[in-house]
Amino acid sequence: MTLDNVRKGQLIRISNIPDEETRIKAIRFGISEGEVVTCLEVVPAGPVVVSKNKQEIAIGRSLASAILVEPC
Amino acid sequence: MNRLIHYDITVGGEEVLTGSGLKAGNMVKGKKIVLAGNPNVGKSALFNILTGLYVDVSNYSGTTLDMACGRYNGDVIIEAPGVYGLSSINDEEKITRDIILAADIVVNVINSLHLDRDLFFTLQIIDMGIPMVIALNMTDEAVQRGLGINIRLLEELLGVPVVSIAAVRGIGIDELKKKIYTARPGHAHFQPIEKINKMLHRMNRREALLVIEGDTELSECYGVKPGTDREAIYRARRERVNQIVAQVVREINKDAGIAARLGNWMLLPVTGFPLLALTLWAVYKLVGVFLAQSVVDFTGDVMNGYYEPAVRSLLSGIMSPEGVLYTILAGQYGVLTLTVTYLIGLLFPLVLGIFFVLSILEDSGYMPRIATLLDRALTGIGLNGQAVIPLLLGFGCVTMACITTRILGSDRERRIAVFLLALGIPCSAQIAIITAVLAGSGALYMLLYVLFMLGIVLCAGTLLKRFLPGRPFPLLIELPPLRLPGVQNVCQKAWGRSYQFIKEAFPIFAMGTLLLGIFDAYGFLHELQRLLAPITVSWLHLPEDVADIFIMGFIRKEFGAAAVLNLQMLPLQKFIVMLTLSLTVPCIASAMVIFKERGWREGLLIWAVVFILAFLIGGLATRLLEIWLA
């Protein structure tokens, strides 16, 4: 499953982030592969907002569709 | 080849840091204390308190694009740009890297609400072995949001002093001042140490760590291969951060609270667009109605009724009212009359209002949420939601906004954003004049103006997206917690920026009026008007004297626009002048910034294209509207 298909409120584990630059940027934001995050909001046709602890991150739709996740 | 960024920092005329990262700061008196941390953690606020200087403070990432520098107890405090880590991903990181490589002490400012994000950078500095003290900021907010942080345990795990502060309220500052000089290197992670030790004969430990983490620029400097362990080290570091956070942070209260709920409403189109519309309506009421009409009427009356007659009567006591000097100083384009009246009576209240609104939007944390809400719409013009920040700031000052385009993720986006700013975003001063001029022509022209500008921006963006090489850069931003903006910071910031604006505009304005006055007094103006007649009269269907407006517009657009108020024209002609002027590059300052940000070649190209487009569209709009309104 990709991140753009996640429902609001769902708990998910990030399993793969495709490109290295994004991966490095995401690790610094606190989200790395294997991390469990909550889907806080899905803006229709827009970005997906995920949160870990108090940290909220908005991820553009095109990027979200490239990130592999699994529900947990 | 050494390609590190070169910089020179001076405090009060004395050179503090100079050269590249490798040789930086050998000539400095006193210690170099560096304030470093993630974006939006309160470095600037702390810097202001420690040095007594004022740096812009906002609630979005990337306010400090250049470093700030000040004196503290005979030592030097340098505020580094906010970054999430050190390497050479972008210019801010390169600058911060070079500053930190030269630091004697790092004061690492971290946000209590985001320990798991901020500690990542902290651990990187600890691994570099630099003496450090941690300023744990916004602890008051953490308590409100139900977070308990065990500071003693955090000190023990990291091995460096930790001081809890709330910088904007001035809490904990005295203790921090005492502890700055007890800074010490923390407990580094064991994993990279072995590799670092092997490289210590060639470079110091700080540099060795960055080389192992694959910093290409530093590796090139030393002629070594960049390391390939970045991801492994980052992963291990992330793991260690997670463990530390799990041990020291205790959530007392999990209730999201009204701020979090409001934050969510701002993101969803169903509630987000009405909230945005409501915000824009409130802004219009404040700036477009209250300030542009009531306040400006009053200040304009004061200037016209008391100030100008006073200046004229004073001057006519010293010189003849028929003389050339009198015309230049107090005539139609008088340096002492027109300049001062426009700047103080017309522009200042409006500019202050617009910067006040922008400050509130910035400090509250609403800006990144607008970015998320509008991300989808902005992908249509080749940008992502993050571009909302420079585009919105453009309504305050295009010059400032062009500098902010640096926060955008790719060069392609910066190019598109700068072009759209140059072409289609009127700055606060222009909005002020446009509102004043078009208010007399009725609501239809206001609406037409908005539709034309919007249409032009959308068309230009779509075309750029279609034809510029490169791929779109997806949105990836953090949403800071919503907070009530501090009254003091908002006022200070709005005042500071407006003052700066007027200070910068005054000499240019005065020079412009002086030039126009001299031209007028010696009859050059008529010559120029005649030369430009093919464009103004034949192409744009305007009276001949409109030429001075365009000539002045070269210097500063709102100055040219202001002169429209003095000319007798039909509503349609006023509209065409406003439209054409809005479309050209705002002022000399913004043109200079565009050249600086984009390089001379691209800058000149942008400037020329914008200019040609402006007159082309102006002429087409004239014909279109003449047919439509006939």
Domain residue ranges in chain B: 7-251, 269-477+484-629
Q: Does A72 touch chain B (CB under 8 A)?
A: no
Q: Strand A36-42 and strand A48-52: pairing?
A: antiparallel
Instruction: CATH number for B7-251: choose from 3.30.70.3450, 3.40.50.300, 3.40.50.1820, 3.20.20.140.
Output: 3.40.50.300
Residue B345 has pLDDT above 90, yes or no: no
Q: What pLDDT score was predicted for residue B156?
A: 94
| Residue of higher predicted confidence among B400 and B127 | B127
Question: Under an 8 Å CB criterion, which residues of B touch A?
Answer: 84-85, 89, 113-114, 116-117, 120-121, 145, 147, 230-231, 234-235, 238, 241, 245, 249, 263-264, 267-269, 272, 368, 371-373, 375-376, 379, 384-385, 472, 474-479, 481
Instruction: Say what the ipTM of the complex is.
Output: 0.92
Q: Provide the 10 A C-beta neighbour count for residue B502.
A: 17
| pLDDT at residue B213, rounded to an integer | 87
The whole-angstrom separation of Cα B450 and Cα B576 is: 13
Q: Which domain holds residue A47?
A: 3-71
B562 pLDDT tier (thresholds 50, 70, 90): low
For residue B89, the chain A residues in CB contact (below 8 A) are 21, 24-25
User: Once rounded to an integer, what is the mean pLDDT over residues B135-158?
Assistant: 88
Bridge partners (DSSP) listed for residue A51: A38, A56
pLDDT band for position B505 (50/70/90)?
A: confident
Chain A partners within 8 Å of B373 (Cβ): 43, 46
Question: Can you tell me which residue has the tokens 């942080």?
Answer: B149
Chain A, nearest residue to B112 by Cα: A54
pLDDT at B20 over 50: no
Q: Which residues contact B232 (CB under 8 A, 6 or more apart)?
A: none
pLDDT for B16? 47
DSSP-derived pairing of the beta strands B75-79 and B68-72: antiparallel
pLDDT at site B180: 92
Q: What DSSP character marks residue B427?
A: -
Interface of A with B in 9-28 (CB under 8 A): 20-28
* Count of the separate structural domains present in chain A: 1
Q: Please list every residue in chain B whose beta carbon sits closer than 8 Å to the beta carbon of residue A57.
A: 476-479
Residue B96's H or E segment, with its range, is: helix B91-101
Structure tokens at B77: 């405090």
Which residues in B lie closer than 8 A to residue A28 (C-beta atoms)?
A: 84-85, 117, 120-121, 234
Instruction: Tell me whether residues B475 and A22 touch, CB distance under 8 A.
Output: no
For B293-343, the pLDDT digits (tens) are 788 788 888 888 898 889 888 888 888 877 778 877 887 677 888 788 878
Q: B555 with B364: CB under 8 angstroms?
A: no
Q: Please compute the mean of the pLDDT values over residues B523-532 and round it to a whole number.
A: 77
Q: Is the pLDDT of residue B10 over 70?
A: no
Secondary element (H or E) of residue B389? helix B388-394
B14 forms bridges with which residues in the sheet? Answer: B11
The domain that holds A66 is classified in CATH as 2.30.30.90
CB B514 within 8 A of CB B335: yes
- The per-residue pLDDT for B59 is 52
pLDDT digits 0-9 by tens, B55-68? 655 554 444 445 67
Whether B24 shows a pLDDT value over 60: the answer reads no
Choose the closest CB to B117 out of A21, A40, A55.
Answer: A55
Confidence of residue B9 (pLDDT cuts 50, 70, 90): very low
Q: Is residue B490 very low, low, confident or very high in pLDDT (cuts 50, 70, 90)?
A: confident
Please check whether residue B368 is in contact with residue B478, taking contact to mean a CB–CB distance below 8 angstroms: yes
- Chain B: give the shortest CA distance to residue A28, in Å: 6
Three-class HEC string of B395-409: CCCHHHHHHHHHHCC
Q: Of A44, A53, A61, which has the smallest distance from its Cβ to B116's Cβ?
A: A53
A43 touching B (Cβ < 8 Å): yes
Identity of the residue in A29, A46, A63 whose CB atom sits nearest the CB atom of B117 = A29
Percent of chain B predicted with pLDDT > 70: 89
Chain B residues close to A55, C-beta within 8 Å? 114, 116-117, 478
Q: Which of B89, B238, B478 sits opposite A56 (nearest CB)?
A: B478
Q: Is the pLDDT of residue B8 over 70?
A: no
| Main-chain dihedrals φ then ψ at residue A52, nearest 5 degrees | -135, 125
Average of pLDDT values for B617-625? Answer: 92
Q: B590: distance to nearest CA of chain A, Å?
A: 30
C-alpha B448: how far from its chain's center?
Answer: 29
Q: Check A24 against B147: CB less than 8 A apart.
A: no
Which residues of chain B does A43 touch, with a Cβ-Cβ cutoff of 8 Å? 267-269, 272, 372-373, 375-376
Give me the tens of pLDDT residue by residue for chain A, a chain 72 residues long.
999 999 988 999 999 888 877 888 788 777 788 888 999 889 988 899 998 877 789 999 988 998 999 988
Q: What is the tens place of the pLDDT at every residue in B391-448?
A: 887 887 787 788 778 778 788 999 999 999 999 898 877 887 788 788 778 788 888 9
Highest mean pLDDT among B341-350, B414-423, B584-593 belongs to: B414-423
Find where tokens 């400032």 sit: B400
